[in-house]
Amino acid sequence: MSESWIIGINPVEGALANDASRVRELLVDIATAQRNTRIKELVDQARAHHIPVHHRPREQLDKLAGQARHQGIVALYEPPPMTHEDELAGLLERDGMETLVLVLDGITDPHNLGACLRSAAAAKVTAVIVPKDRAVGLTPVVRRASAGGADRVPLVAVTNLARTLRELKDAGVWITGLAGDTETSVYEVDFRGPVALVLGSEGEGMRRLTRELCDFVAKIPMPGAMESLNVSVATGVVLFEALRQRAAKR
């Protein structure tokens, strides 16, 4: 996979903390670095890992960052390959009864995908599954939005999502999809044991076949005036409801 630029303090910090061996170099704006202690700390970390650090004019960082806010620091990073779908069975076996899988069917906005990966990493999910032809991939924007989550959770791009869902069912994983047009609440579904949570795109929701393969379809109750939540917000709600139930059984 080709190298890409990681933009901003938090993403660079995440890369150095989780996968410093893939950071090729740091570029910092010296004027900002002199007054920002966090950048100074990141420079020290990079040098401790023998990563080259170069001072560059702010204009050069502006050009590399494009519309993103670089905050005076960027890093050249070689992303690890996405987890191959053949590795999914091993991940399920590893986590066993604690398996918690997040399936995103058609999330193409990089900010939403990054935010979902952030929540998934915080919830310590087994894997995040996306279809190869309906996902944005691990772009620099996704990595920035994930705040380091992209480096902490396996992201599996699968050729055939329906086949993968069947494989999850065969492995004993119970699948719950989220949709607004059902009477079942997520708070009524038992999320203990090996489960997969499926969310579709904001505009269209889950595809028909994806929904048909779910064991349950549930909604997040919303007594207010809004009809839906942003998909990354919905992801966080349902993931942490699953964690709440799992903690309660202990």
Point out the annotated binding site.
200, 220, 229
61, 80, 86 from 106: Cα distances, Å = 33, 22, 21
Residue 72 gets the label, from left (phi > 0), alpha (psi -120 to 50) or beta, of left
Contact of 12 with 75, CB cutoff 8 Å: yes
Strands of the chain (E only): list them: 4-7, 23-28, 53-55, 73-77, 100-105, 127-131, 155-158, 174-178, 195-200, 216-218
Q: Six-digit token pair at 222?
A: 């919303």
Q: Please answer whether residues 136 and 201 qualify as being in contact, where contact means their C-beta atoms are separated by less than 8 angstroms.
A: no
Backbone angles phi, psi at 152, to 5 degrees: -115, -5
- Which residue is it, tokens 């579709």? 200
For 8, the token pair is 């901003």
Compute how many other C-beta atoms are within 10 angstroms of the C-beta atom of residue 162.
Answer: 14
**Residues flagged as binding site for S-adenosyl-L-methionine:** 200, 220, 229
